[in-house]
Structure 1
Amino acid sequence: MAKQKSFKNLSASPSTSMTPWLGIAIIIVLIDQITKVTITRLFSYGESLAVTSFFNIVRAHNKGAAFSFLAAESGWQRYLFTGIAVAAVVFIIYLLKRHAGQRLFCWALALILGGAIGNLIDRVLYGYVVDFLDFYVGRWHWPAFNVADMAIVGGAGLFILDELRRVGK
């Protein structure tokens, strides 16, 4: 009788290959870039489409970081955030190589890597990040975001979960 793998232990795996993790990151980059290209072809800057009573699709450009941090600066922030993203990509690849057998940790890294590369491509090509998902309540709008941002937040959530599991052991 063949032994079945248990899903209980997501934090460790005997595999030490980086290939699956890089594959996940590449899928995130592809989805992110396809959605951004679609938005830039279908919408003019600032144009919005109401989808529900709490969600719009809008074409927005973010020259800053999260929540448009430093977006109003003169342009130097493009190079700062590009440099930070390149350093993050290199460091994440190093961590993936070193910890490739830690499944949950590497899922987190792969999601963040894909998101970082997706937004890095925008910064290099356009000087800003294309955002298009606009959720709101009444007149209060959450800052617009994109697939790369969702991957980064999801990866951060998995980091927290991974750390909580480690502390619990």
Structure 2
Amino acid sequence: MSLKKAYLIVFIILLVDQLSKIYIKTNFVLGEEIKVFDWFRIHFIENEGMAWGTKIPGDYGKLFLTLFRIVAVFGIGYWLWDSVRKHSSNYLIVAVALILAGAFGNIIDSVFYGVIFNDSHHAASTLFSDNPYGTWFHGKVVDMLYFPIWKGTLPEWIPGVGGNYFTFFNAIFNIADMAISTGVGILIVFNKRAFGTTNKEEVATNEEMAA
């Protein structure tokens, strides 16, 4: 796969991610939910940018997280470029492109959203508001995809959690998170193909076209 095609994947994921977040932010009040199906809801929440809403304590925790993720994106970007340069498997290139797009998408929230949106607590937010809710590098990540596929009380015979009320799947996430999870899933499920030998036929074809 060419670098141009890999960047196209990144661009499309970023575009869909940001359009969905801006729509939710400007049309939903924080905590608002729309039922699409019994197993799928649009539920607007915001978090500090870590999985499951985890927050780094301290005044500079959010800033540290954002800066760390920016550095990580540069590393992932180099990984993508290097994978294409080495004619790595398309499985690997697509996976890295998805991870890069997802990480970049959530970084945009963290870096910019605090200074271009007002808060969403009592009304839908305004884009490019004169009264932003935060500062640079302290924006909150917008999540909205909720799949409560099953809700119920777990059987008593299950050790530790038996008898408790449980929801599967109770995480709320966004398009960027889906891209990251899909990319990691490809690397795990198709590990041998992703990190295996180079597709010689594809390389030969590319070299013939270049010649």
Bigger relative contact order (CA 8 A; separation at least 6): 1
Same fold? TM cut 0.5? yes
Q: Is the 8 A contact 1:64 1:77 kept in 2?
A: no
Give the TM-score taking structure 1 as reference length.
0.81
Pair 1:88 & 2:72 matched: yes
Q: 1:10-89 counterparts in 2 under 5 A?
A: 17-70=2-55, 73-74=57-58, 76-89=60-73
RMSD (CA atoms) = 2.1
1-structure distance, mates of 2:75, 2:180: 15
Identity %: 35
In structure 2, relative to structure 1, the CA distance for the partners of 1:46 and 1:74 (3 Å cut) is farther
Amino acid in structure 2 at the alignment position of 1:133: L
CA offsets, 1:97-155, max 9 Å, x none?
21102211110110011101110000112311000011112262512100000000000
In structure 2, relative to structure 1, the CA distance for the partners of 1:166 and 1:150 (3 Å cut) is closer
Report the alpha carbon displacement of residue 75 of structure 1 after superposing the two structures with TM. 5.1
Which residue is 2:142 aligned to? 130
Q: Is the 8 A contact 1:63 1:77 kept in 2?
A: no
Give the TM-score taking structure 2 as reference length.
0.66
Q: Say which of 91, 97, 120 aligns to 1:104.
A: 91
Which stretches in structure 2 are left out of the alignment for 5+ residues? 115-138, 152-165, 198-211
Which stretches in structure 1 are left out of the alignment for 5+ residues? 1-14
Amino acid in structure 2 at the alignment position of 1:80: F
Amino acid in structure 2 at the alignment position of 1:156: V
For the pair shown, the structure with the greater C-alpha radius of gyration is 2
Q: Is the 8 A contact 2:46 2:142 kept in 1?
A: yes
Amino acid in structure 2 at the alignment position of 1:150: M
Report the alpha carbon displacement of residue 164 of structure 1 after superposing the two structures with TM. 3.1
Equivalenced residue count is 153
Report the alpha carbon displacement of residue 163 of structure 1 after superposing the two structures with TM. 1.9
In structure 2, relative to structure 1, the CA distance for the partners of 1:168 and 1:33 (3 Å cut) is closer
